[in-house]
Structure 1
Amino acid sequence: MAQPRIFKAGEWDTITPELAGWTYVSFSVKQFAAGETIVIAADDQERSFTPLSGIVTAIVDGEEIVFGGRASVFDGLGYTLYVPRDTEVTITSADGAEVAIASALATTKHAVRLVTPDDLGVEARGGGNATRQVATPIPPGFPADRLLVVEVWTPGGNWSSFPPHKHEHDHDGEAELEETYYYRLRDPEKGWAVQRAYSPERDFDLVETVRDGDICVLPWSYHTTVAAHGHDLYYLNVLAGPAPERTLQAFQDPALAPLQNEWPELGLDARVPFIPRYPETSAASELD
C-alpha cells in the first residue's frame, strides 16, 4: 500500500508510479553533461521540464525552444516547458544543466507551451514565520490534463506548506492528488529542513530530516515543512490525480488552520520575496 515516504539523495533515480505505489506522477532530475542529448519518446505521459540550473534546447514538433539560465534555484524564478502526451521531445544542453522532469498519465492532448519568469508572479504567501515565496508554472488554470507544478522558497527558520493540509479525497474543498516534494538547500552541504506527514485517521506520523536532493512522496496525509534556522529551502512540488477538474484544493488540519487568522496582524517576513524574477543570464525562445 502506498504511504508517505522520503527517499534520500543518491538512493533514488526516478520516482515512478511503481516505486511510489500510485498511478499518475513520475519525477526525475537529469544532470546533463556539456553537449549531452536525450530523446523522450511519445507516449501517454504529459511532461514538464524545469531547468534547476543552466540552459537547455528542446526540439518539439520541429520547433527549437531555448530556455533556462539561472545558476541555481536560488538565483531566479524558473522556466518550465510543458509537452503534451503523444509528443516526442529532444533535450540538449550545450554547456551542461540540471533539469527536473515531471510527468503524469494523461488522457487529453494540449499544446506545447513555454512558461517564462514573465508569466510568474513574485508571490509572498503566509505571514510571520510562516512566510514563503511561491511561483506556480503549471497552475490549475493551465491548459494541461492532470499535471500541476509549483516552486516554493522558504527562508531559514520559517514554516512552509502551513497550515498543514492534505489532498486525499475528491469532494468539495479537497481534491485527491498524488504529490512529490523535491528539496534543495542554499547550502547543500550543511543545510537541512524537517518534513512532517501525518494522518490521525490512519495512525500515521512521519517526522524526518530532509537534505539537498531528497524527495518525499505523499499519496495522502497532512503535511508541512520547516527550514532550519539559517538554511534557505527550495522545493518543487508535482501533483496529479483523478479529480475531474484541475484544482489544488486542499483540506487543512482543523486543529491548526485557525493560526492563519493571525497572519494579517503579524505581516509578511521582510525577507520575502527573496528570489528575483530574472537570473543574471537567461535565455528563452518564443513559441510560434
Structure 2
Amino acid sequence: MSDKKLHGLHLRAGSTADGPYALRIAPAEAGWDYAGLRVLELEPGGSHLLTAGDSEWIVLPLRGGCTVHTQDGIFELHGRESVFGGVSDFAYVPRDARAQIASGVGGRFALAGAKCERRLPARYGPAPEVPVEARGSGIQAREVHNFAAAGAFACDRLIAVEVITPGGHWSSYPPHKHDEHRPGEESELEEIYYFEIDRGGVGYQRISPSRPGGADLLAEVRTGDAVLVPDGWHGPSIAEPGRPMYYLNVMAGPGAEREWLIRFHPDHTAEGYR
C-alpha cells in the first residue's frame, strides 16, 4: 500500500488490509506524523519479517502466541486466547531493527508503532508486570491495561494501552482531548483506536470538534475497525449490552517529553474518569 491519505476517520475492518496485515495505518496515510498501527494475521506455522525503519514497535498478541527474533534477543510471547482473556506479554522492537515474528499455532498480533529518534534496546514485557487499572464506577467502570503507558514501560515516543469495557458500559469518558501543547496540562498526541467486540457485537465511538472544522464523528464500530483521532474531544466509547468491547489505544506526538496529559470537556466532570 502506498502512502496515500486514508479516507475518513472511521476505518472499517478490511478497508486498509495489505498482504499479511488485516489493518495497516502508516502515519503519512493517516495525515499526521508519528502514530501507526498494523494488525498481523499468521496461519499456524506462519512467519513475517518486520522491518522497523524509522519507527519503534510493540508486538502485542491479540489472539495466540508467537516468537519474536531480533538481533538483541529472542522473545517468546505466550499471548492469550483472545483480547478478553486477560493481559498479554509483549515485545519491544526498536527503530532500525528487523524482527522475525513466527507463530506455531497462528494468531492475530497488533504492531503498535511510532516514528521516533532514539534507538532503545529490544525488550520483553512480562504480563504480570503490566499495570492493570480499574477506572470509573457504575456503568462507567472499565479495566485499563497500561502495558506501554508513559510511566509503565520505556519507549521514545510510543504510548499504548488496552481498555476492556463491559457490555452496556461507557468508557473513554468524560470526553477529553490532547491536541494542544499546554505545559503541565495537556500534551499533543495523535491517537488510533482499534476495536474488537465480543461475539459479533457493536460499539459506538464519538469525536466532537475542539476547534472550527475539527474532527467530528459518530461511528458504529465492529471487530477489526479502527478510528483515527487527529484532534477533538473523544468519547464516549459505548459497548452494546451483553457484548464487552475491547480497544487498543496507540498514541504518539511531537512533545519533548513522553507524557499523556489530557484535558476534560468543560461541560463534563472528571468523576467518571477516576
Q: Which residue of 1 aligns with 2:109?
A: 99
Give a deviation string over 1:159-196, Cα, whole Å, max 9, x none. Answer: 10111111100112111001000000111x2x011100
- Counting aligned pairs with the same residue, the percent is 36
**Mapped contact 2:131–2:147 kept (Cα < 8 A):** no
Give a deviation string over 1:102-150, Cα, whole Å, max 9, x none. Answer: 1111101112121122111332101121110001111112321100110
Matched, 1:18 2:28: yes
Secondary structure at the counterpart of residue 242 of structure 1: coil
**Mapped contact 1:2–1:219 kept (Cα < 8 A):** no
> Structure 1 runs of 4+ off > 6 angstroms?
1-4
> How far 1:260 moved relative to its partner?
3.7
Q: Which residue of 2 aligns with 1:83?
A: 93
Q: Which residue of 2 aligns with 1:71?
A: 81
Equivalent-residue separation in structure 2 for 1:253 and 1:29 (angstroms): 31
1:214–1:42 CA distance, 2 compared to 1 (3 A): closer
**Mapped contact 2:26–2:36 kept (Cα < 8 A):** yes
**Which structure's relative contact order is higher, taking Cα pairs within 8 Å and 6+ residues apart?**
1
Matching residue's letter, 2:64: G
1:3–1:254 CA distance, 2 compared to 1 (3 A): farther
Matched ranges for 1:1-288 at <5 A: 5-13=9-17, 14-61=24-71, 63-141=73-151, 142-172=153-183, 173-187=185-199, 189=200, 191-204=201-214, 205-224=216-235, 225-257=237-269, 259-260=271-272
Matching residue's letter, 2:34: Y
> How far 1:218 moved relative to its partner?
0.5
Matching residue's letter, 2:269: A
Matching residue's letter, 1:58: V
Equivalent-residue separation in structure 1 for 2:188 and 2:62 (angstroms): 28
> How far 1:215 moved relative to its partner?
0.2
Secondary structure at the counterpart of residue 83 of structure 2: coil
1:149–1:242 CA distance, 2 compared to 1 (3 A): same
Equivalent-residue separation in structure 2 for 1:184 and 1:200 (angstroms): 27
Equivalent-residue separation in structure 1 for 2:106 and 2:79 (angstroms): 11
Matching residue's letter, 2:221: V
**Mapped contact 1:3–1:219 kept (Cα < 8 A):** no
> How far 1:62 moved relative to its partner?
5.3
Matching residue's letter, 1:6: H
**Mapped contact 2:191–2:252 kept (Cα < 8 A):** yes
Secondary structure at the counterpart of residue 201 of structure 1: coil
Equivalent-residue separation in structure 2 for 1:42 and 1:123 (angstroms): 30
Largest Rg, 1 or 2:
1
Secondary structure at the counterpart of residue 84 of structure 2: coil
**Mapped contact 1:27–1:100 kept (Cα < 8 A):** yes
1:128–1:91 CA distance, 2 compared to 1 (3 A): same
What TM-score do the two structures reach when normalised by structure 2? 0.90
What TM-score do the two structures reach when normalised by structure 1? 0.86
Equivalent-residue separation in structure 2 for 1:249 and 1:42 (angstroms): 27
**Mapped contact 2:52–2:93 kept (Cα < 8 A):** no
> How far 1:2 moved relative to its partner?
9.2
| Equivalent residue pairs, number | 260
1:258–1:57 CA distance, 2 compared to 1 (3 A): closer
Aligned CA-pair RMSD? 1.9
